[in-house]
Structure 1
């Protein structure tokens, strides 16, 4: 890891947020303490109804934050679309607000871009010796099936298409028109970057997954939508 070279680049950290009252302040604190010094935090509250908006409203004047409020809930993809549009960094990365991904590992994910080797980097939960919380078997199966289907059409050899940690050179992600409003963002953006002749890397990360009782939101309907998106953006679009 090369902190000096990393901090020559400005990192835009896009944080989509919906009903994360219990984690959002801890997540913001963790991101601020991440090893990347030159960064901007863009938080997009996607119509939260559990008090998250009120928490963010109290800290929206923090000079280290850019807080944006959606009037109604539209979905993760819509929040990311807003966040990417506002980004000014050299590199953009997605950071979920639920503490499943460790901001201390941001330098690991962006290093291939910093080194000039990559245009896009996926942080794989399944390609590392780092901690990985044991949670749902069928989620892992579903993830593997979706990643395999995506790889068949994109001809990429990713191990974790559905990962949150995706980093992009800013020009790359701002040049992509994101259409999906919910979790279909993942297969959509994967299909679109696969068609752009970009240098795509994958690095291993840790994963602290949470249960539905702890606030996990993605469900089986999102899995079917992901299958539809794989066909839509690889074949029909």
Structure 2
């Protein structure tokens, strides 16, 4: 099997080299590729990426203009060649050592998708309360719409079987990717797992980019993609039948 790690990047010159080095030090027990997508950074991120692109496992892609995390991920999903696909942020909030654990439910054929939850007793860091409350609120509203019992819909660490995510019709360009992909997964028969992960949240001073406007946008995306988007408008026609709900024309 092959694992594709998709890394959307915007102004992460300070952390990109470190997070990629940590990933390269990991043994996932399978072939891997790391696809870096620069979202028209204004710092020296592109220079760092060009250096990393010399490594055999890494491909560097560059967006023509700043288009948002969701748009960068769409390009990464289209370009990747792995059997499994993982979203990896370019900062240091997530620990790549957790990836080995996230892989296990899929390798054991118990899951098709695995989310890493930041909100567990495994995470010792005291987080900013308002940020925590906002995430819990959005997850709760998402759960009401999807009927999924998740604890962290907004997490970065999402691992998919490639035939699911590559056949999903994604629209959101910024941070709306999280509620969109969750809503569309809920329309399938995908087996979804959620496992606790470590989390080292950074402040806005340290480079955190998501803001309150993205929170309001997430509410709209939850409503839009759950209530106003059909299964047929969520997936390409060649999504394998095993993921499709019953009573649909294939």
TM-score range relative to shorter protein = over 0.9
CA contact (8 A) 1:135 1:210 kept: no
Structure-2 separation of matches of 1:35 and 1:54: 27
Equivalent in the alignment of 1:4:
none
Q: Secondary structure at the match of 1:40?
A: strand
Equivalent in the alignment of 2:47:
54
Aligned mate of 1:80, from 52, 67, 73: 73
Aligned mate of 1:184, from 171, 176, 181: 176
CA contact (8 A) 1:31 1:103 kept: yes
1:134 aligns with 2:130: no
Aligned mate of 1:29, from 21, 24, 47: 21
Structure-2 separation of matches of 1:53 and 1:65: 14
* Superposition pairs of residues 141-180 of structure 1, within 5 angstroms: 141-180=133-172
Q: Secondary structure at the match of 2:73?
A: helix
- Unmatched segments (≥5 aa) in structure 1: 1-8
How many residues are matched? 228
Displacement of 1:62 in angstroms is 1.7
Structure-1 separation of matches of 2:183 and 2:25: 33
Segments ≥4 residues shifted beyond 6 Å: none
Structure-2 separation of matches of 1:59 and 1:203: 30
CA contact (8 A) 1:210 1:216 kept: yes
Equivalent in the alignment of 1:235:
227
Displacement of 1:55 in angstroms is 1.5
Displacement of 1:178 in angstroms is 0.9
Equivalent in the alignment of 1:40:
33
TM-score (norm 2): 0.89
Displacement of 1:25 in angstroms is 0.4
